[in-house]
A and B are shown apart, each in its own frame.
Chain A
Amino acid sequence: METILKVQGLRKFYGKLEALQGIDFEVRRGEIFALIGPNGAGKTTTLRIIATLLSPSAGQVSFLGFDLKKNPEKFREKISYLPEEAGAYRNLKGISYLKFMAKFYARSREEVQTYLESAQAIADLGERINEKIGTYSKGMVRKLLLGRVLMTRPALAILDEPTSGLDVINALEVREIIKKFAAEGLSVLLSSHNMLEIEFLSHRVALINQGQILDTGTPAELKSKYQAANLEEVFRRALQ
């Protein structure tokens, strides 16, 4: 399968702290790729760099053949990013927020309309889409934001801990939305510290710890390599 994102030797310093110590991985078209690791491993830092929020201290990131340093605007056009624990403008109606965001990507009024319809279908909020975001539950906000991220059909959706803080039902719905999106041939790069749910969601995973990738592969490959019952055990053995 075709590689759309390639990360090589990525390093990031926050002052003296080396948060990323040389990260390598690639994401292919139509796959769900997960960075899994404990808090502070460097997942958010990696995702923020690819989303053009932070500049890398060293290393290369190329996306659809474009270089991050040379063409960050190409990244912004074709990548949508969902920050960790994100919210939205509380005083806006759900639909107004979607419209506000859609206008940055759409080239025509019809396209805005197409995006809005697609976002509404993904978020599945019914009539409540016309209410202020301040009145939404956490699960509703997350689904609204997923609708926002996916409505433009980005080549790559970056989702930082998309299910964290959600109840079982909402987390399940979110996972279904992500799977459906990837089934349409688009790619997802996500992060999670919940290693068990990732096993059922992603095609390939990278184990990340203290700014370093420990191993990469499909859940099945990793489980047989480390002779483990699940990814949590894989991670523990990979650490040794």
Chain B
Amino acid sequence: MRKFTNLLTKEIKELITLQLVISLLFTVFLFYFIGQMAKSEVKKALRMQKIAVLNLDTSPFSQELIRNLRSGNFEPVLLRVKTKEEAIQQTNSSNMNLLLVIPEGFGQGIEKLELKPVETYTFLRSLSIMANRNAAVFNAVLKLINNYLSNDYLQKQFPELDPNKIKNPIKSRNFVLVKDKMAEGSAEQITGFITSQSLFVPIILMMIIIYSSQMVISAIAMEKQNKTLETLLTVPISRTSIVTAKMMGAAVVGLISAIIYMVGFRYYMAGFMGDVSRAVKASNLSAIIQSLGLALSPNHYLLLGLSLFLAILCGLAMATILGVLAEDYRSAQSLVMPLVFLVLIPYFLSFFSDFRTMSLPAKILVYLIPFSHPFLASQNILLGNYGIVFGGILYMLIFFAVLIFIAARIFSTDKVLTMKLRFRRKKVVL
């Protein structure tokens, strides 16, 4: 036992390198950063949007219209200049990105609904997503104006009718169902919210698996190259202990990575959920998500954490075997490629297609790859499909056990020294 602890301590020490610590800290930071960004974006979206307005019309109607912009969450800033050119210049020198120009005599055509066009100016100050949003803002402004005008017109023509009833005689109430739970709300909002939440699970998972496998492969290949593995195999300790210590060392490091990963993930969710629940009261999104059971509870975190941990273990166990196959440190670098592919397949599939609608062979392929299961779990835990989640966990456990068995076999025979995967480069004969 003392010998085993000695070995295990060495394995863990060897795996916890400065690089690993840095990459884990970076992961947490990344999560935190994204969470904060989401927070500030939500805030921005909720803030009143400033719009510079040049009103060249003198009718009371246009003033009424400008006042009405407030109801659509816009803050009109009236410019006290006389010409369009001056207005453009003034808006440009302020920090506003949007200018609305109401032409002279705009109110005169109101009776017949023959209005002069309004002009909108958008200042592209960057090509970010925010800039893109400005265009959407103007569409909203125009919609608001049109709505206001048509309502006004209908009101005058049919004083006893509600203009909204004329325009939309049929009303709808929208419900969303998740398993046996139901709530009133739009599916679009909810899926949008959930995908925004689970988008980063695959990315970070992919990073961790690839990184930690690379680490293990390199460590073992290094042991082979330095002949320290050869030395270890001749000391009085059982071969099973050597493999188990290697795997357990990797497991401890994997567990630490998974925990840190989950902590980071909580930061991310807190950044997001905190503001959503506070600010989006108007759309009631957080209440809807709660009542549909789509918020992650501590048990859910545990389950997701377990799934992640097992996936990392499988990755590390495969890396251990691949590391033994490597001839030296350099060839180990290319051996990590098959692992990377195995992670990339579920990663891309989770982005580009809906798992439930895949063909059977594709489905089987996805199920067979252990790394698919945390990808599947992150969504299915929310949707309450625990069958897939637990099935995945069981599968990964079995997969891991088989790998340990294979590794123990390799270590207890000649193969640990004689097995090699050579990537022979073809020699060019001149």
Q: State the A residues within 8 Å of B (CB).
A: 14, 48, 51-55, 73, 76-77, 79-91, 100-101, 103-105
Min CB–CB distance A146 → chain B (angstroms):
13
B235 in contact with A101 (CB, 8 Å): yes
Cβ A77 vs Cβ B236 within 8 A: yes
Query: Does B234 lie within 8 Å of A104, measured CB to CB?
Result: no
| Chain A contacts for B234, CB-based, 8 A | 51-53, 76, 79-81
For residue A54, which residues in chain B have a CB less than 8 angstroms away from its CB?
A: 414, 417-418
Interfacial chain A residues near B225, Cβ < 8 Å: 87
A83 / chain B contacts, CB cutoff of 8 Å: 227, 230-231
Q: Which of B10, B227, B237 contacts A84 (CB 8 A)?
A: B227
Any A CB within 8 A of the CB of B426: no
Interface size class of B (residues with CB under 8 A): 20 to 34
* Alpha-carbon distance between A197 and B349 when the two chains are bound, in angstroms: 64
Interface check B86, CB cutoff 8 A = no
Q: Give min CB distance, A153 to chain B, whole Å.
A: 14
Contact assessment for B230 and A86 in the assembled complex, using a CB-CB cutoff below 8 Å? yes
Contacting pair A86 B228 (CB below 8 A): yes
Contact A48 B227 (CB under 8 A): no
Cα–Cα distance between A82 and B230 once the two chains are bound (Å): 9
Report the Cα distance A188→B223, complex, angstroms: 25
Q: Which residue of B lies closest to A49 (CB)?
A: B414
Q: Across the interface, do B3 and A104 meet the contact criterion of CB distance under 8 Å? A: yes
Tell me if B2 counts as interface (CB < 8 A to partner A).
yes
B152 in the interface, Cβ–Cβ < 8 Å? no
| A48: B residues at CB distance < 8 A | 417
Contact: B235 with A87, CB < 8 Å? no
Task: Give CA–CA (A87, B228) in the complex, Å.
Answer: 7
**Interface of chain A, main secondary structure:** loop
Residues of A within 8 A of B222 (CB): 90
Q: Is the beta-carbon distance between A103 and B3 smaller than 8 angstroms?
A: yes
Using known A-B contacts A103-B6, A104-B3, determine if residue A88 contacts B417 with beta carbons closer than 8 Å: no
Whether B236 lies near A91 (C-beta < 8 A) is: no
B residues less than 8 Å from A73 (CB atoms)? 236
CB pair A85–B227 under 8 Å, yes or no, is yes
**B32-65 interface (Cβ within 8 A of A):** none
**Interfacial residues of chain B within 196-251, with CB under 8 A of chain A in the complex:** 222, 225-228, 230-231, 233-237
Given the interface pairs A100-B6, A103-B2, the reply to whether A89 lies near B414 with Cβ below 8 Å is no
B89 contacts the other chain (Cβ, under 8 Å)? no
Residue numbers in B under 8 Å from A76 (CB-CB) = 234-237
Is B235 a contact of A105 with CB atoms below 8 Å?
Answer: yes
Residue of B nearest to A15 (CB): B418
Contacts A52-B234, A53-B230, A54-B418 supplied; 5 other A-B pairs, CB < 8 Å: A54-B414, A73-B236, A76-B236, A81-B234, A86-B230
B93 at the interface (CB under 8 A from A): no
In the complex, which residue of chain B has the Cβ closest to the Cβ of A48?
B417
Q: Which of A73, A82, A83, A91 has the most CB of B within 10 A?
A: A83
CA of A86 to CA of B223 in the docked complex: distance in angstroms? Answer: 10
Give the contacts of B410-424 with A (CB-CB under 8 A). Answer: 413-414, 417-418
Min CB distance A143 to B, Å, is 16
A83 to B225, CA, bound (A): 11
In whole Å, how far is A168's beta carbon from the nearest beta carbon of chain B? 24
Which partner residue on chain A sits nearest B229 by CB separation?
A83
> Are A104 and B237 in contact, CB atoms less than 8 angstroms apart?
yes
Decide yes or no whether B14 CB sits under 8 A from chain A.
yes
Q: Which of B2, B6, B236, B417 has the most CB of A within 10 A?
A: B236
Best-surrounded residue of A48, A53, A76, A91 (most CB of chain B within 10 A): A53
Minimum CB–CB distance for B195 against chain A, Å: 43
> Can you name 8 A-B residue pairings with CB atoms under 8 Å?
A52-B234, A81-B230, A84-B227, A85-B227, A87-B226, A103-B3, A104-B6, A105-B235
Q: A79 to B228: give the CA distance in the assembly, Å.
A: 16
Closest chain-B Cβ to A229's Cβ sits at a distance in Å of 36
Q: Note all chain B residues with C-beta closer than 8 A to A14.
A: 418
A135 smallest CB distance to B (angstroms): 15
**Which residues of chain B are within 8 angstroms of A90 by Cβ–Cβ distance?**
222, 226
Chain A positions within 8 Å of B417 at CB level: 48, 53-54
Within 8 A of A (CB), among B342-373: none
Evaluate whether A88 and B3 lie within 8 angstroms (CB atoms) in the complex, with A53-B417, A104-B235 already known.
Answer: no
Q: A14-B418, A53-B417, A54-B417 are in contact. Are A86 and B227 (CB under 8 A)?
A: yes
Beta-carbon nearest neighbor of B10 in chain A? A100
Q: Which of A53, A55, A88, A103 contacts B228 (CB 8 A)?
A: A88
Q: Which residues in window 143-195 of B have CB below 8 A to A?
A: none
Q: Is the CB of B3 within 8 A of A52?
A: no
* Closest CB pairs A-B (n = 10): A87-B226, A86-B227, A83-B227, A76-B236, A81-B234, A104-B235, A103-B6, A83-B230, A77-B236, A51-B234
Closest to A104 in B: B235
Chain B residue nearest to A100 in the complex (CB):
B10
In the complex the two chains form, what is the Cα distance from A52 to B412 in whole Å? 10
Inter-chain CA distance A88–B2, complex, in Å, is 22
Q: Which residue of A lies closest to B223 (CB)?
A: A89
Q: Are B226 and A88 in contact, with the CB atoms below 8 A?
A: yes
